[in-house]
Amino acid sequence: MSALLPEQEVHAIVILGDFNPSIFHPTWFSQNDLLPAEETGAVAEMLITREVATYDVSDINVQVESHRFGLTTKDSAKAPVIRDLAMGSFGLLEHTPLQAVGLNLDVEVAVPSVEQWHEIGHRLAPKATWETILDTPGMRGIHIEGKRPDCSADVLNIRVQPSNPSKGIYSVIIRVNQHYNLDPKEELSVRARNDAVMRILKEDWKSFRPFALRAAVQIISG
């Protein structure tokens, strides 16, 4: 199969901890020099309560709940921006107790033909066993976890699933998640955990995207 390249990338950074969602108003980001006031002032719709803050700003979806801080963008040009937003936010909110971090990249790769689309499913989930149980078994999803060499992440999760074929376009979605448990035994200080998050975002983030893209292309290409 010829090399297939990603059609679309969705980047996300998720941090678990104890948050006060109402802080994360668009204006807070501009007042702290994290986003231009011109962009935060243009946010048309938002939901900000004590329990949740959610809105789109600068092609980034901000979603903060009491235990979850999430930044998502489908514009790869903004991938470094969500990293900076997360770093800037918790650089300011340095006493926020943080528990876990996830770097995420979802990649959609279009496959030229339905035959090749099925071939990927057959390769990732061989049907020999399934055909003794079911007629026409098909892979709806596969989830593999493991470690990444030279990376301090606790676990890497890779999910593969076919998209819904629409208008004759066949594609496969690969979701790569690099997960860090900051302090499972709760021995570290809040400050030390904050520093760990900063290190992950500063150092590990850069190599995550190339790794995830290589993984996606390799999974698809075989």
Partner 1 sequence: MSVLDTLTSQTASDRNLTTKRLDPDDWFKPTLDEQPANRTDRDNAVNADDTDSVEPKRWKPPVRRSNLGIKLDGDRVKIEQQWECIVLDVGDGVVSCEMLDLTDESNPSEFAEVYKTEFSEFDRQLLQEGSVFYWSVGQIRKPTGQIRRHSEIRVRRMPALTRTKEAEIARKVQRLGKLIQAQ
- Residues lying near partner 1 in the complex (CB under 8 A) are found at 6-10, 12, 14-16, 32-39, 45-47, 51-52, 54-56, 61, 63, 65, 67-68, 70, 72, 74-81, 84, 87-88, 91-92, 94, 100-102, 104, 106, 108, 140-141, 155, 157, 161, 163-164, 166, 173, 177, 179, 181, 206-207, 209-210
CB burial of 196-219 (b: ≥16 within 10 Å; e: otherwise) equals: bbeebbeebbeebbebbbebbbeb
Antiparallel, parallel or unpaired: β 68-73 and 60-65: antiparallel
**DSSP letter string, 24-69:** --HHHHHHTTSS-HHHHTT---EEE-SSEEEEEETTEEEEEETTEE
Please identify, using beta-carbon distances, which residue of 23 and 52 lies nearer to partner 1: 52
Shortest distance, position 147 Cβ to partner 1, whole Å:
13
106 exposure class (CB count in 10 Å sphere: 0-12, 13-18, 19+)? buried
Shortest distance, position 6 Cβ to partner 1, whole Å:
7
Kindly report the number of other CB atoms within 10 A of residue 143's CB atom: 11
Shortest distance, position 7 Cβ to partner 1, whole Å:
6
Shortest distance, position 17 Cβ to partner 1, whole Å:
11
Shortest distance, position 70 Cβ to partner 1, whole Å:
5
Beta strands in 138-200 (DSSP E): 142-146, 155-162, 170-181
Q: Which amino acid is at 21?
A: P
Q: Calculate the dihedral angle through the C-alpha atoms of 17, 62, 177, 185, rounding to the nearest 10 degrees.
A: 0
Shortest distance, position 206 Cβ to partner 1, whole Å:
6
